[in-house]
Amino acid sequence: MTDTAQENRPLIAGNWKMNGLKSALAEATAVRDALKPDPGTPEVMICPPATLLVPLAELAAGSPLAVGGQDCHAAASGAHTGDISAEILRDAGASAVIVGHSERRADHGEVDRIVRDKASAAHRAGLTAIVCIGETRGQREAGLTLGVVGRQLAASLPEGVTDANTVIAYEPVWAIGTGLTPSTEDVAEVHALIRKDLETRFGAAGRRIRILYGGSVKPSNARELLALPNVDGALVGGASLKAEDFLAIVRATA
Ligand code: PGA
């Protein structure tokens, strides 16, 4: 098993969730303006609500800021009112899409099989799939975390995963939006399990697949979380809405 904290280029992805009027584009502009086109710096992405994908992609064009969707349907097109496909996200300027976020799993009954099909759809459209997994508070308290995360990982990833087309986000459900985070030991333990499983299934690529931590990442805790072995970046919710906080997390990778 390899400690990849220093090997893989970090990714800091902001998940705006159902937040973001047109006025929020000013925050994205401020993020863009602070980034340098230097491969030695982390990759930075914002995943806005679908309505802001096109203007955000336009303002990010030619800059290091990447744009991602928050969900996609498994099909490429068709009669699925209210849904959005990976192909449409790509056409709007996205290079990635979050799939299997715990809010989608909880609010929309998305089980691992659905998440796997969505990740496949992302790959089909040429998008990077950011596949989310993580235990609930009850599962953590019952000592089931490693089993739950291992099963979700195995069942949520399709064949054809590479380090270029897939990122894993470990997000304990009880840490999302609560201000609570697991201990650094607990984060490191889960990330080590994910790394081992990825290496077992995908060989050398499994070492290079980035594993993000998500759940109440903020400027005050980012540095210690991002320094942990096998933590290759962060998926950031609330703290990604303000450029100042988000950029402080980006700088914490240094
Ligand atoms: P949070 O959300 O940073 O607000 O806890 C993280 C996420 O859900 O991706």
User: What pLDDT, in 10s, does the model give residues 117-157?
Assistant: 999 999 999 999 999 999 999 999 999 999 999 999 999 99
User: What is the chain's mean pLDDT, rounded?
Assistant: 96
The answer to whether residues 64 and 43 touch, using CB atoms and an 8 Å cutoff, is yes
Average pLDDT over residues 189-208: 97
Provide the pLDDT for residue 4.
47
Tell me, yes or no, if 73 is annotated catalytic: no
What amino acid is encoded at 73 in this protein?
H
Q: Establish whether residue 215 lines the binding site of ligand 1, counting it when its CB lies within 6 angstroms of any ligand atom.
A: yes
Q: What is the pLDDT of residue 1?
A: 44
Does the beta carbon of 176 lie inside 6 Å of ligand 1? yes
pLDDT score at 39: 83
Q: Is 132 close to ligand 1, i.e. is its CB under 6 Å away?
A: no
Q: pLDDT class for 2, splitting at 50, 70, 90?
A: very low
Atom 6 of ligand 1: nearest residue by CA position: 237
Which of the four pLDDT bands, split at 50, 70 and 90, describes residue 102?
very high
Cα distances (Å, whole numbers) of residue 86 to 23, 36, 157? 26, 28, 16
Q: 3-31+43-91+104-189+199-251 belongs to which homologous superfamily?
A: Aldolase class I (3.20.20.70)
Task: Give the model's pLDDT for residue 180.
Answer: 96
Which of 217, 220, 225, 246 for a ligand 1 pocket mutation test, highest count of atoms within 8 Å of Cβ?
217
171 catalytic per annotation: yes
Judged against a pLDDT cut of 80, whether residue 222 lies above it is answered with yes
Tell me the percentage of the chain whose pLDDT exceeds 70: 98
Tokens of 34: 């602070």
Residues 6+ apart with CB under 8 A from 144: 135
pLDDT at 48: 98
pLDDT confidence of residue 6:
53
Mean pLDDT, to the nearest integer, of 214-228? Answer: 98
Spatial distance between the Cα atoms of 84 and 230, rounded to a whole number of angstroms? 32
The pTM score is: 0.97
DSSP string for the chain: ----TTTSPPEEEEE-TT---GGGHHHHHHHHHH----TTSPEEEEE--GGGHHHHHHHHTTSSEEEEES--BSSSSSS-TT--BHHHHHHHT-SEEEES-HHHHHHH---HHHHHHHHHHHHHTTPEEEEEE---HHHHHTT-HHHHHHHHHHHH--TT--TTTEEEEE--GGGTTTS----HHHHHHHHHHHHHHHHHHHTHHHHHSEEEEESS--HHHHHHHHTSTT--EEEESGGGSSHHHHHHHHHTT-
Q: Residue 216 and residue 218: Cα distance in Å, rounded?
A: 6
As a whole number of angstroms, the distance between CA 108 and CA 149 comes to: 20
CA 241 to chain centre: 15
CA nearest ligand 1 atom 7, residue: 237
pLDDT band at 7 (very low <50, low <70, confident <90, very high): confident
Separation of alpha carbons 187 and 191, rounded Å? 6
Average confidence (pLDDT) over 225-239: 98
Tokens of 152: 């979700």
pLDDT of 81 strictly over 90 = yes
